[in-house]
């Protein structure tokens, strides 16, 4: 009788343990499913926001991005060539848009470019996940990069004479005025410190544009002349950029 009771007790323990294991397993499965759904959603968003650009370099691509975003009426707020980050803002259809672009270098002159676009509406920030918008931006950047590379091939060709070289640049870039921007900051004192360092250059000035204080130098009719001054400025201001004004 005692042996029968012990056997029954052991069987009861096994049943209870199996039931608990089943509940735990089911709970973990539901948690894993939720995690997989979230991971898949994040992965899809990264794939939407990220594209690879081939046969280029960070400096060339950042130049193309800055020019293209200005053409799209974005205000460039931050540029860092070392980390490959560009940020910009724009106001379209009564919405405040924030754009952040990051560039990561890969092998063989290939770069991964990620665009993060968000909007502010009624003091709420939301990420834009419209596939058509990202497709448009990436297509525009690819076309701009292609045109830039074609222009560079012409400029670098040994068969082009110096005077033809100059004429080509002027024809491509003429019609806009250019300036070199050293810094864009919300802190006025920080911008003033940059201005004091830049005051030795021609047409140095500090301006209030939207919510930002920008320090710029020079006024040029031709992009090529701005590039000459930019090479000199980069020794002291490594994140200086040429902008249309």
> Which residues does 157 contact at the CB level (< 8 Å), separation at least 6?
none
Is residue 143 predicted with pLDDT exceeding 90? Answer: yes
What's the rounded mean pLDDT across residues 178-198?
93
Is residue 153 predicted with pLDDT exceeding 90? Answer: no
- The residue whose two tokens read 């890969």 is 106
Is residue 224 predicted with pLDDT exceeding 60? Answer: yes
- Cα–chain center distance at 118: 12
pLDDT at 30: 47
Is residue 168 predicted with pLDDT exceeding 80? Answer: no
pLDDT at 119: 92
Nearest to 115 by CA among 176, 183, 46, 179: 46
DSSP 3-state of 5: helix
pLDDT at 159: 59
What is the fold of 157-245?
Alpha-Beta Plaits (3.30.70)
pLDDT by residue (tens digit) across 20-33? 544 444 444 545 54
Burial of 49 (0-12, 13-18, 19+ CB in 10 A): buried
pLDDT at 37: 43
CATH class entry, domain 48-148:
alpha beta
Is residue 109 predicted with pLDDT exceeding 80? Answer: yes
In the chain, the percentage of residues whose pLDDT exceeds 70 is 76
Q: How far apart are CA 71 and CA 147, in angstroms?
A: 15
pLDDT by residue (tens digit) across 38-62? 555 788 888 999 999 999 999 999 9
DSSP code for 238? T
Of the candidate ranges 12-26, 118-132, 194-208, the one whose mean pLDDT is the lowest:
12-26
pLDDT at 154: 77
Domain spans of the chain?
Answer: 48-148, 157-245
* pLDDT, averaged across the chain: 82
What's the rounded mean pLDDT across residues 122-151?
91
Confidence tier at 158 by pLDDT (50, 70, 90): low
What's the rounded mean pLDDT across residues 191-204?
93
Is residue 107 predicted with pLDDT exceeding 50? Answer: yes
Query: Backbone phi, then psi, for 67, in 5-degree steps?
Result: -65, -40
């Amino acid at each position: 009788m005692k042996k029968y009771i012990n056997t029954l007790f052991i069987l009861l323990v096994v049943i209870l343990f199996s039931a608990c294991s089943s509940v735990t397993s089911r709970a973990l499965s539901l948690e894993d499913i939720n995690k997989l759904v979230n991971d898949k959603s994040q992965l899809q968003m990264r794939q939407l926001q990220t594209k690879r650009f081939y046969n280029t370099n960070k400096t060339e691509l950042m130049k193309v991005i800055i020019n293209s975003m200005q053409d799209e009426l974005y205000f460039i707020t931050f540029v860092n060539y070392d980390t490959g980050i560009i940020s910009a803002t724009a106001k379209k259809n009564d919405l405040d848009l924030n754009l952040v672009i990051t560039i990561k270098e890969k092998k063989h002159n290939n770069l991964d470019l990620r665009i993060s676009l968000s909007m502010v509406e009624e003091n709420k920030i939301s990420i834009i996940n419209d596939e058509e918008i990202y497709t448009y931006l990436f297509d525009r950047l690819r076309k701009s990069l292609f045109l830039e590379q074609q222009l560079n091939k012409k400029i670098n060709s040994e068969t082009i004479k110096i005077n033809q070289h100059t004429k080509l640049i002027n024809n491509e870039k003429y019609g806009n005025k250019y300036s070199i921007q050293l810094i864009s900051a919300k802190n006025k004192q920080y911008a003033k410190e940059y201005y004091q360092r830049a005051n030795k250059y021609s047409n140095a000035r500090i301006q209030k544009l939207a919510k930002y204080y920008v320090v710029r130098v020079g006024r040029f009719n031709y992009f090529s002349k701005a590039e000459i001054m930019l090479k000199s400025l980069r020794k002291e201001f490594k994140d200086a950029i040429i902008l249309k004004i």
